[in-house]
Amino acid sequence: IDRARTLAAGGDSAGARRTYRTFARDFPNDSLAADALWRSGMLALNEGSAVEAAVDLLSIAELFPNSERAPQALYTVGVGAYANQLYVESIDALRRAQTTYPDYRWDAVGYWLGRAQAAKGERAAAEATWQAVVDRAPDIYFGVMAAQALRQLNGTGGAVVEMANMRAIAGPPSRVAGDDGSQAFAEQWLAQWLQVDTATLRQLPATVTADPDWIAGQLFLAVDERGDALAALERVYVRHQNDSPTLYALSLEFERLQAYRLSLIAMARLLQFSPAGLVENAPLFLQQRAYPRRFADLITAESEANGIEPLLFFSLIRQESLFEEGARSFAAAQGLAQIIPDTGAWVAERLAYPNYTNDLVYRPYINVKFGAYYLDWVRDYLNGNLVSALVGYNAGPGNSDIWREAAGQDDALFVEQLTINEPRIYIHAIVSNLYHYTRLYGME
């Protein structure tokens, strides 16, 4: 393995692949045998040798069916075959993955299997495959994509992520009978689930109110030491993150303290524990605290000023910062819309913003203005494609342009073939967020 890596690093890809394959052949019982074939296949793919890559990957499925690489190999072959219009081979690989490894990325496998079936003219099979994905999880990325595909039923023309038409597939705001959106209705639902009295639901237990971190967090907020306050309050959340009744009361208190990120994650975790299953099966009052519109007037105004759908920008900010105005990432991205210092300075220059310093970017009215402007600029730079723009916002417009040129106009293939995971996860999250924001607020 080390020899093969050295050969690859030295530019001898053929020698590296030969060494990997020899290792897998001569030591089939070694735990690294399947991984050796995987590495060989990836080297072949990077060189554009799709057939050699497919041979390596299919060999993993045949020779090492119990390895973790086997379903990954079938999925890679299936999507790659689809991209190369080899629909029979795509269907075969993806159906094998779905049948043999039903828990491996079932949503992604189902979506691409439906694409291949539709492209081959198997309309009824594609409908059934996509509907199964939608029925199981309508609110995740591939659930949304499958629902859009059911509307399009065009497996050969390329899939467009229909950000602007989410209303056509979004479910109802709430599926709970009699839900009037009130806090009282939500608390009756919670009380029935948790087997507690509604009068106690909003009350923090003594284990929270007497917690030194809870006391310190409020004191830090009172003297405007927000960073220390949030750190103390988060420690309280972590200690109670598995206690459903306390999560509800904590979410309300965090909201009162304007610790919006903590309020959101506490409510989202409560919904995960609940019997709802899907978010839309929970009371509307709870859903709206998991998908809130904090800073609504500001975000709506700046979105509209830059030609951006406000619900999309809420979806982006939820993913970027969970509405925490003081958020800072490891990459030094800052504030609600996570503006990095260089981008902030560049936007300030473009907008002729007077006396700009980086500290100002944490102020919501500046951060949101700069974020909306930058997203609009990136969209224009990338020929108006919103999915390209979102990838560019996350990973840089130059990278997005390169990836788009390689993938073509099919948005789903573009996202699938991104060479790093972060922008792919980013798009998945924003599409899911937008599904919920459209359900909850899109009909207003």
Question: Which are the catalytic amino acids?
Answer: 320
Q: Which residues contact 244 (CB under 8 A, 6 or more apart)?
A: 194, 270, 273, 274
Angle at 400 between CA 398 and CA 402, to 5 degrees: 70
Q: Cβ(368)–Cβ(336) under 8 Å?
A: yes
What DSSP character marks residue 419?
A: S
* Token pair of 101 as six digits: 């490894």
Residues in the chain, overall count: 444
Q: How far is CA 308 from the centre of its chain?
A: 20
| DSSP assignment of 76-126 | HHHHHHHHTT-HHHHHHHHHHHHHH-TTSSHHHHHHHHHHHHHHTT-HHHH
Task: Name the burial class of residue 135, with classes exposed (0-12), middle (13-18) and buried (19+) by CB atoms within 10 angstroms of its CB.
Answer: exposed
Write down the H helix ranges in 224-357.
Answer: 226-239, 244-256, 260-273, 284-290, 296-305, 310-321, 341-350
Angle at 425 between CA 236 and CA 85, to 5 degrees: 160
Q: Which residues contact 119 (CB under 8 A, 6 or more apart)?
A: 82, 85, 87, 155, 156
Q: Cβ(395)–Cβ(402) under 8 Å?
A: no
